Amino acid sequence: MTKKVIEASHAIAIGARLCRPAVIPMYPITPQTHVVEQLAEFINNGEMDCAMLDVESEHSAASAVIGIVAAGSRAFTATSSQGLALMYEVLPIISGMRLPAVMAVANRALSAPISIWNDHSDAVSARDQGWIQLWVESSQEALDAVIQGYRISEDKDVFMPLMVCFDGFTLSHLFEPVDVPLQPAVDKFLPKFKPLYKLDVRKPMTFGPIGFPNSFMHFKKQQQEAMLNSISVIKKVNREFKKAFGRAYGDGLLDLYKMQGADYAVIGMGTLCGTARVAIDRLRKKGKRVGLIRVRSLRPFPEKELQSAVKNLKAAAVIDRHISLGQEGPLFTDVRNAIYCNDISINSYIAGLGGRDITVNHFEKVFNDLEKGKQRGEWLF
C-alpha cells in the first residue's frame, strides 16, 4: 500500500480505477465534479484502460450504465443531488434488470431553495429503488467501499446495483491520509466481472421485457430476496476485505463505537458520526455511559443487527440529515420499526439540512435529553 493525503473525491476515483471499469459514463455536478475530473486525468495519462463516455445529462449516464453492464462490462458512474434526481427514472430499471454496477453519490441537498451543501435528501429519497446503499464516514472508507461495492454487487447471490454515499463537501473535499491498495492486491480480491447473462449476437436474449400482472410481482420478490441475500454478502466481503487489506467497518452493516456498557446511544449515518465520536469521548471522560451506532448499510436495512446493538440500552436517539416531509426522519422510521419490540425509548432529531453544521454541543444536548428521559425529539438548529 501507499499512503497519500487526498480528498475523498479523489479516493473514490482511485477506488474506481483499481476496480478496472471498462466504461465510465459521466456528467459533472457539484460537489461530485472532482471525481469526474480525477478519472478523466487517469484516463488521459494512460493510468486507466477505460473509456469515458461524456453524456448530455445524468439521465443519460444512468441509461448508459444499462447498456454497458448488459453487454457484459463493468461500469462506474457518480452524481449528486439534482443529478441523482434526474436519474430516478432509470434507477429502478437498472436494479429491475439485475445489472450490477457501482455509483458514487456525493450527498447534497435537493432544491428548492438551491443548496450545493450536504444533507442526505438525494440518496435517502432513492432508497426504495432497489440499490444497495453503503454510507461512509471517511476518505479511506470511501475508497474501500468502492472496492467492496463491486464484490458485493457482482456476487451471484446478489446481482444488484450499489451506491457509495459520501457527504458532499463535508467529506468530498476533505483531505485525509488514505492507504491506497496496490493493484495486484485489488485484482486478487476483486475477480474479473463475469455476468450471468449478457447481450450477445451469437446467443440473442431479451433484457427488460414487459412484465404482465401475472409475473411482475414475482420479479419484485426476486429483487427483494437478492437484497436480503446481500446482508450476509456485505458481512462476508467486509471480513474478507479486512483479511486482505487490514481494515473493516464494523460488521459491514453497522459500525459500533463505545457501545460496550452504554446506556444511551445516538444512531446516524455519514460524517456526523465523526462529530458524535468526539462528543462521546468527552462524555465518557465525565463518566457518562454513551455510545454510537453508525448505520453503514441503509439498504438492505440491518434489522436484526440493530436489535442486537440496542438490546441493553435505556434510550436511543436517531439523527436524520433528511426529513420525509409530512412524516418524520426516514432513518428514524426504519430504526423504530426495527426495534419496536425492544423495551427502550427512542427520539428523533432532524439536523444538518442544507449543510447546516452539526456540532459537538448538539450531540451533548441529545445525550442530555436521553438521560433526562425526554420522550420527544426536535430540529437541531
Full pLDDT tens readout for the chain, 381 residues:
799 999 999 999 999 999 999 999 999 999 999 999 999 999 999 999 999 999 999 999 999 999 999 999 999 999 999 999 999 999 999 999 999 999 999 999 999 999 999 999 999 999 999 999 999 999 999 999 999 999 999 999 999 999 999 999 999 999 999 999 999 999 999 999 999 899 999 999 888 899 999 999 999 999 999 999 999 999 999 999 999 999 999 999 999 999 999 999 999 999 999 999 999 999 999 999 999 999 999 999 999 999 999 999 999 999 999 999 999 999 999 999 999 888 899 999 999 999 999 999 999 999 999 999 998 889 999
Q: What is the pLDDT of residue 8?
A: 98
Phi, psi of 129 (to 5 degrees): -95, 10
Amino acid at 80: S
* Contacts for 370 with CB less than 8 Å, ≥ 6 apart: 264, 314, 315, 316, 317, 345, 347
CA angle 256, 80, 238 (to 5 degrees): 30
Q: How does DSSP assign 221-285, residue by residue?
A: HHHHHHHHHHHHHHHHHHHHHHHHHS---TTSSEEEES-TT-SEEEEE-TTHHHHHHHHHHHHHH
Q: How many residues does the chain have?
A: 381
The per-residue pLDDT for 175 is: 97
- For residue 236, CA distances in Å to 157, 222, 232, 250 come to 12, 21, 6, 12
**CB-hemisphere CA count at 13 Å for 173?**
12
CA distance 332 to 66: 33
The rounded distance, in Å, linking the Cα atoms of 280 and 294 is 13
8-state DSSP, 48: -
2-245 CATH, one of 3.20.20.70, 3.40.1110.10, 3.40.50.970, 1.10.10.60:
3.40.50.970
Residue in this structure with the C-alpha cell 419490540, named with its chain if needed: 341
pLDDT for 115 equals 97
- Provide the β-strand partners of residue 6: 176
Q: Where are the domains of the chain?
A: 2-245, 254-380
List the grid coordinates of 57: 445529462
- Residue among 341, 344, 300 nearest 318 (CA): 344
205 Cβ contact partners less than 8 Å away, ≥ 6 residues apart: 197, 199
Residue 265 backbone phi and psi in degrees, to 5: -145, 150
Bridge pairing between strands 2-7 and 175-180: antiparallel
Query: What is the chain's alpha carbon radius of gyration, rounded to the nearest angstrom?
Result: 20
Alpha helices by DSSP H, the chain: 8-18, 33-44, 58-70, 81-87, 91-96, 121-124, 139-153, 183-189, 216-245, 272-285, 303-310, 330-338, 360-371
Which one, of 44, 56, 54, 43, lies nearest residue 17 by Cα? Answer: 43
* pLDDT for the residue 184: 98
Hey, how many other C-beta atoms are within 10 angstroms of the C-beta on 104? 29
Residue at grid coordinates 459491514? 252
What pLDDT is attached to residue 119?
Answer: 98
Alpha-carbon distance of 298 to 375, in angstroms, equals: 25
Q: Are 379 and 351 in contact (CB under 8 A)?
A: yes
Say if residues 172 and 32 touch (Cβ distance below 8 Å).
Answer: yes
What pTM does this model have? 0.97
Whether domain 254-380 has CATH 3.40.50.920: the reply is: yes
Same fold, 2-245 and 254-380: yes
What is the per-residue pLDDT for 278? 98
| 297 Cβ contact list (under 8 Å, min separation 6) | 132, 133, 134, 135, 231, 234, 252, 253, 254
Report d(CA 294, CA 348) in Å as an integer. Answer: 15
pLDDT at 212: 97
Q: First vs last Cα of the chain: how many Å apart?
A: 42
